[in-house]
Every structure is written in structure tokens, then in C-alpha cells.
């Protein structure tokens, strides 16, 4: 079976290449019924950031999904969400995300906190394998894509999956207009 292809990338079954995944990502994929439909591709870690990746591998910008971690407080309790939007958009943190989290102010989590709590590398954080108490918001436009490119938890690889598979990731809330 040929792997998923997009631009200059061709995937291989992620569960057969777990050395290319952060530990929480590999564990989550092995537990998830759709985990066998997720693929991974090794990349140069220097090209992990979206602009460099899309240029080097001839990728359409709208196929890349960026995952940002946002938090806010309500009644002394921190509420955190991962927001996955197309790379040609930005998450609507100040309006839509703030309202969905039901907090007065939402802001990006500090890098150190995001890395420590996810067990993933900065620049590789992905919605797969996040802490169970976190919410996961995915822009609706990504769920319609034939292939979505996401972080793998490490900078040396990327996950490939269909938008349909992404929409079925445990805990995902598909949000129209999340990316603006």
C-alpha cells in the first residue's frame, strides 16, 4: 500500500515508525482505533517550522495544520485548549477561543509550560497525545482536507492524516471559523 502523499512528502504507517514520534503521540496512536490510518514522514528538523517546511517540500500552505496551546483562568482554575488551524490562518484566540473556554482572557501558554505538560518538543506539538483534560479545537476547514500535515511531537518528523481522521481524534471539537 502506498503512503499518503502531499507535495514532496510520502508517509509510512506511524505505528511502524514509532521512533519518529514523541512518546505520548505513539501511546495515543496505539490506543486509538483510527491510529492505523495515521502516517509519519521523517524531515530535516531544521525545516520543521511551517514556512521552511512548505518551501523545502513543495507543500500547499492550506494542507499544514498549526497547533497552538492556549490557556486562561476562571474561578482560579486554569483551562487549556490546543487549537489546530490551517497554516495560512491564525487561531481566533481573543474572541472565539476565549468564549469557548469561558475565560476572561485567553493567551498562549508559555513555551516551557506547553513542552513540560505535553511531553513534546516545541515546534512539534500536535493534537495527538495531549493531556486528557485539555480541550482540542480543530478548524472545520481542516476536516475537509484530503491530507493534513501536523506535528508529531518531535521536530524531526510530521504526521499525515486525512481531515476525516483528524475530526475523529478523541476529544476533538470541530469549530467553524476557528482560523481567521
Mean residue pLDDT across the chain: 95
Are 15 and 29 in contact by the 8 Å Cβ rule? The answer is yes
pLDDT of the residue at 2? 67
DSSP letter, residue 141: G
- Measured CA to CA, the distance from residue 70 to residue 91 in angstroms comes to 10
Dump pLDDT digits (tens) for 52-72. 999 999 999 889 999 999 999
Dump pLDDT digits (tens) for 95-126. 999 999 999 999 999 999 999 999 999 999 99
Burial of residue 161 (CB within 10 Å: 0-12, 13-18, 19+) is: buried
Percent of the chain having pLDDT more than 90? 95
- Measured CA to CA, the distance from residue 87 to residue 97 in angstroms comes to 17
Which residue in this structure is represented by grid cell 506547553? 114
pLDDT of the residue at 73? 95
| Domain ranges (residues) in the chain | 25-173
pTM to 2 decimal places: 0.95
CATH number belonging to domain 25-173 = 3.90.960.10
Burial of residue 39 (CB within 10 Å: 0-12, 13-18, 19+) is: buried
pLDDT of the residue at 144? 95
Amino acid at each position: 500500500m502506498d503512503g499518503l502523499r502531499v507535495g514532496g512528502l510520502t508517509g509510512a504507517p506511524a505505528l511502524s515508525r514509532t521512533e519518529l514520534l514523541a512518546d505520548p503521540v505513539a501511546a495515543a496512536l496505539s490506543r486509538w482505533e483510527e491510529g492505523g490510518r495515521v502516517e509519519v514522514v521523517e524531515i530535516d528538523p531544521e525545516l520543521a517550522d511551517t514556512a521552511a517546511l512548505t518551501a523545502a517540500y513543495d507543500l500547499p500552505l492550506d494542507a499544514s495544520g498549526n497547533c497552538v496551546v492556549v490557556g486562561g483562568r476562571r474561578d482560579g482554575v486554569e483551562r487549556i485548549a490546543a487549537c489546530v488551524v490551517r497554516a495560512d490562518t491564525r487561531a481566533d484566540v481573543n474572541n472565539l477561543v476565549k468564549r469557548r473556554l469561558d475565560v476572561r482572557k485567553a493567551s498562549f501558554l508559555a513555551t516551557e509550560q506547553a513542552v513540560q505538560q505535553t511531553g513534546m518538543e516545541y515546534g512539534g506539538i500536535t493534537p495527538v497525545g495531549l493531556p486528557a483534560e485539555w480541550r482540542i479545537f480543530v478548524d472545520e476547514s481542516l476536516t475537509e482536507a484530503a491530507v493534513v500535515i501536523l506535528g508529531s511531537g518531535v521536530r524531526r518528523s510530521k504526521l499525515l492524516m486525512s481531515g476525516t481522521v483528524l475530526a475523529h481524534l478523541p476529544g476533538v471539537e470541530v469549530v467553524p471559523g476557528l482560523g481567521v
